[in-house]
Amino acid sequence: MYIKSDAKQLIFDKKNNNFTGLIEFFNLKTNDIITIKKIAELANVSPGTVDRIIHNRGQVAQENVDKVNAIIEEYGYKRNILASNLALNKKFHIAVFLPKYENLEYWKSQISGVEKAAAEFVKFGIVLDYFFYDFNTESFQKQINKVLEFDCDGLLFAPIFYEDSVRFLKEYEKKNIPVVMIDSNISEENKHAYVGQNAFQSGYLAGRLISFAVKNERKVLIFKIAREIESTSVYLQRIDGFYSYFKDNNDLTNFTFSEITVKDSGTNQLNLDMFKDIHSVFVPNSRAYIVARFLEENNIKGVRIIGFDLLKENVEYLNKDVIDFLINQRPEEQGYLGINYLYKKLVLKEAVENTHYIPLEIILKENYFPAGK
Amino acid sequence: MYIKSDAKQLIFDKKNNNFTGLIEFFNLKTNDIITIKKIAELANVSPGTVDRIIHNRGQVAQENVDKVNAIIEEYGYKRNILASNLALNKKFHIAVFLPKYENLEYWKSQISGVEKAAAEFVKFGIVLDYFFYDFNTESFQKQINKVLEFDCDGLLFAPIFYEDSVRFLKEYEKKNIPVVMIDSNISEENKHAYVGQNAFQSGYLAGRLISFAVKNERKVLIFKIAREIESTSVYLQRIDGFYSYFKDNNDLTNFTFSEITVKDSGTNQLNLDMFKDIHSVFVPNSRAYIVARFLEENNIKGVRIIGFDLLKENVEYLNKDVIDFLINQRPEEQGYLGINYLYKKLVLKEAVENTHYIPLEIILKENYFPAGK
DNA sequence: GCAAAAACCGTGTGCGTACACGCAAAAATA
DNA sequence: TATTTTTGCGTGTACGCACACGGTTTTTGC
C-alpha cells in the first residue's frame, strides 16, 4: 500500500472488504454503489428475481441465476445492512447461558459486558434471553434442558462443568446455531467460537512473575481454594502452565513446590503451618484474597502472592501490597465480545474469527484503575 | 436489579438506555416501539411536523413543539438509526491527521486500527480523508492549513508537536466539529476527546517495575533517545511519572539516577562509559532496542531494561531476555477507538465518554503474542 | 379591508431490501 | 386440444426516517 499526503482516501476494495490503494477523494463522491435495483436493470430481470437469487429462495431460471450472480461478482455487490435489517424487521434472539451472578463479582462483570453489548445492539434487533444456573451440576443440568428447548438464533455459553457441557454442546450442535463460549473453552478443534484467556499460558506467565519476584527465596506454594466442585479445566490448565514455566527454564529443581487444597469458606481453614518457610504463593483462581487476608491477620510479611481477577477483595490487598500481581481476565470485555461475535454473525452476517484470546493483563497497584481505567 | 432464571429478559429501559429489571420474554414480542408516525397520531399532527421538531428545523407552532416533545419524553422515543441513515443517505467525512507512517511501526499500527474501524463503518457512511505529515514542524504546519480548509464532519488528530498543535486546535474549534486526539492529549479541561494512555502514570508504573526487578542494585539510568525535535509532552510526562514513583515511596535517596540524551541514529552514539555500574535502564520512548542492541553487542549482561511499545526490534530483545518489560500502548486499539468515537458521535449521535485511557499493559516474553494474541 | 408576506403544516417520494401475492408461460396430464 | 400443475418472474407494499414541495392559515403593512 502506498501513501501520499493531502486529502486522499485509501481505496476501499468492495470485493475483499479492505483497503488497497489511494485515490483522490472526490472520485468516491460519485455514488458507484451497486444496488439490487441496478443489478436487476443490468440483468434484465426484476428486483424480485434478484432478491430470490440472493436468498436462494428458488423459483428462478438457472440462466437468470447465473447472469445475476455474475453481475454480483463483477460489481462486488454487498447488501446494505441498514436497508436489509429495516426490511427484515426481525428480532435476533440470543440465549445467554451463564452462572447465576448474585454475589459473584466475576460473573457480574461478565453480565455487565453482555448488557453493554445488548444495549448497543438493540437497535439492530438483538434480544437476549437469560438462562442462569447455580453453581452445582443439578441446577446446570436442569437448565440445559430448557436451553435445548428454547428456540433462538445464537447462544452465549459458559461451560463451567466440563462433562455436562461437552454433552450439552454435542446435543446443541444439531440445532446448527452459532455458539460462543466465554471464560473457558471446551470446543474441539475450534468448532465453536471462544472468547477468553489461554489458561495454560496464564499459568505460565504466573510462573515467570513468581520467578521474577523472588530471587533466592524459592519455596513456592500452590494454594487451591475450591468450591465443592471445581472441575473447570481452566483451573487445571493454569497449574499445568505454571509448572511448565519452571520446567522450560530448568528451574524445577531450583524451586521447591508444595500444593494445598482447602474448601472455600473463609480463612478458618488455613493455619500457620501451611506457610512455614514459604516465599511465594500462587492461587490459580480468583480467591487470592483469602490467602492475603490470612497472612495479614497473622502479620506474616514478605510473602509474594499472585492470583487472578480484580475482585474488590483482591484489589484491596493489591493496594495494601499484600498481593503482588493479579492477572486480569477482563470479564466485562469477554461478555461484550461474546455478544459482539453473535451480532456480527447474525446481523451483519460477516465472517468472524472464531477464537479471541483476551490478553494476559498483569495488574499491579500502579496500573490498577477502577472502572474508566 | 433482581434476577430469576429461565427464559427471561432483562428489561430494557428505553429512556435511560440500559437494563433495569426482568420480564417474561414473550411480553417483549409485542412491538411497542414508538415511531414518528405513532407520535404524530398521538399528537394529532403529521409525521412531517414531528420530523421538523425532532430536527429543530423550525416552522412549527410552539404548542405542537411542546406536545410532541412531551410524547417523545413519555414514550422514550429513540430514532431508528437504520432507517435514519438509510434515509439520510449521507457520507460522514472524517479527516485523519497523522504522521506519515512509512517506516514507523507504531504509526503503522495506529493506521491499521483506523482502517479496521473504517472497514467496519463504511456501511454506515463513514469515509476517511487522510492528511499525513512528516516528522518536522514545517511539514506539520503546511498540512495544518490543508486540514483547516478541508470540509468534514469529524477529525482524528495526533498532536505530536505541542505548540503548533495547541494553536491549530484553537483555530479548529471555530468549526465546531468533533475532534479526537490519539497518542497524546493536549486538550484543556477535557474539551476534546482523547484515546491513549495516561503518560504520567505509565512512567510511574515503569518506576515500580524497576524497583521491583532490581533488589539491591540501585543505579538507574534514564536513557533519552530522541529525534531532532521530540517536544512531545508524552515523553516528559513519563519521566516525570517515573521520578514520582520513587518520590512517593521515599526511595529517591536509595536509588541513584542519571540521565543521558542521544540522537536517534543507531548505536554509534552510545559508549561503554554510559553504562558503567548501571543496573537498570529506563527508556521513556519506543527505542529501548537501541540500548538493548548496544548492550548485547558489548556482551554486557544483567542490566534491566524497560521501554515502550511492541516494535519488532523491541520484541526481538524481549524474547532474548535483554529487555525485561515493555509497556504496550496498543496503537491499533487507539486508532480503532478514535474512529469508533467519531462513528458513535456522528452516525449514532450518541453521548460518548470523552476520555478513554488505554490500560498500561505490561508485556513480558511470556505474555507477548503477536497479532491474534 | 385587502394584498402580500410570513408562519405553519401535510403529502409524497426515496433510501435499499424483503417478501407476499398473483399473473403468465411452460410443462404435464387428461 | 383442453385443463391442470408447475415454474418463472414482475408488482406492490412495508420497514422507519428525512426532506422537498406545495398548500393552508395567520400575521403584517398599508
In chain B, what residues touch A130 (CB-CB under 8 Å)? 3, 5, 7-10, 22
- Helix A331-346, helix A105-121: angle, nearest 10: 30
Domain ranges of chain A: 8-87, 90-196+331-358, 199-328
Which carries the bigger pLDDT value, residue A330 or residue A90? A330
Matching CATH topology for B8-87 and B199-328?
A: no
A8-87 CATH pick, 3.30.110.40, 1.10.260.40, 3.40.30.10, 1.20.120.340: 1.10.260.40
Structure confidence at residue A267 (pLDDT): 59
pLDDT at residue B199, rounded to an integer? 93
Please write the tens of the pLDDT for every residue from A110-155. 999 999 999 888 888 899 999 999 888 889 999 999 999 999 999 9
- Least confident range of A6-10, A78-82, A301-305: A6-10
CA-based end-to-end distance of chain A: 35
Burial class (CB in 10 A: 0-12, 13-18, 19+), B373: middle
Angle of helix A36-43 versus helix A62-75 axis, rounded to 10 = 120
Do residues B124 and B85 touch, judged by C-beta distance below 8 A?
yes
Q: Specify the higher pLDDT residue, A182 or A86.
A: A182
> What pLDDT does residue B204 have?
96
A25 in Cβ contact with A9 (< 8 Å) = yes
Closest by alpha carbon to A160, among A95, A106, A205? A106
For A271-333, the DSSP string reads -GGGGTT--EEE-SSS-HHHHHHHHHHTT--S-EEEEE---HHHHHHHHTTSS-EEEE--HHH
The minimal CB distance from B18 to the residues A19, A119, A123 is found for: A119
| Residue closest to A114 by CA, chosen among A354, A330, A358, A338 | A338
Whether residue A309 is predicted with pLDDT greater than 80 in this model: the reply is yes
**Is the Cβ atom of A348 within 7 Å of strand C at any atom?**
no
pLDDT tens digits along B243-276: 999 999 988 888 999 999 887 766 577 788 888 8
SS3 (DSSP) at A172? helix
Q: What pLDDT sits at residue A232?
A: 66
- pLDDT of res. A116: 93
User: Where does the pLDDT of residue A49 fall: very low under 50, low under 70, confident under 90, or very high at 90 and above?
Assistant: very high
Q: Of the candidates A115, A360, A364, which has its C-beta nearest B19's C-beta?
A: A115
A364 vs B contacts (CB less than 8 Å): 205, 208-209, 212, 362
CA distance B136 to B143: 11
By the CB < 8 Å criterion, does A127 face chain B? yes
Q: Does residue A25 carry a pLDDT above 50?
A: no
Cα gap B217→B230, rounded to integer Å = 31
Query: What is the model's pLDDT at position A251?
Result: 79
Is B112 at the interface with chain A, CB within 8 A?
A: no
CATH class name, domain A90-196+331-358: alpha beta
CB proximity list for A57: less than 8 A, separation 6 or greater: A51
Question: What confidence score (pLDDT) does residue A14 get?
Answer: 40
Give the mean model confidence (pLDDT) for residues A73-81: 88
Interface of A with B in 317-356 (CB under 8 A): 353, 355
Q: Of B161, B166, B169, B164, whose CA–CA distance to B232 is shortest?
A: B161
Residue B80 has its nearest CB partner, among A95, A123, A372, at A123
Beta-sheet pairing, B304-308 with B280-282? parallel
Distance, in Å, from the CA atom of A229 to the CA atom of A17, rounded to the nearest integer, reads: 47
Please state which CATH class domain A199-328 belongs to: alpha beta
Residues written for chain A = 373
Interchain contact B366–A (C-beta under 8 A)? yes
- Please tell me the distance in Å from A142's CA to the nearest CA on chain B: 10
Residue A370: band (very low, low, confident or very high) from pLDDT cuts 50, 70, 90? confident
For chain B, say whether A243 makes contact (Cβ under 8 Å). Answer: no
Q: Is the model's pLDDT at A236 over the cut of 90?
A: no
Distance between CA atoms of residues A155 and A150, nearest Å: 10
**Summary mean pLDDT of chain A:** 85
Q: What is the pLDDT of residue B101?
A: 78
pLDDT at A158: 94
Q: What is the pLDDT of residue B1?
A: 29
Q: What proportion of chain A, given as a percentage, has pLDDT over 70? A: 88
A10 vs B contacts (CB less than 8 Å) = 115, 118, 128, 130
Low-confidence ranges of chain B (pLDDT < 70): 1-32, 227-232, 265-267, 371-373
**Cα distance between residue B224 and residue B239, in whole Å:** 10
For chain B, give the number of residues: 373
Residues of A in contact with B85 (CB under 8 A): 82
| Shortest-distance nucleotide from A57 CA to C1' | C19
Nearest to B327 by CA among B371, B289, B364: B364
Distance A195 CA to C3 C1' (A): 74
The CATH number for B91-197+331-358, chosen from 3.40.630.30, 3.40.50.300, 3.40.50.2300, 3.40.50.11540, is 3.40.50.2300
Residues lying close to strand C (Cβ under 7 A), chosen from 17-46 of chain B, are 44-46
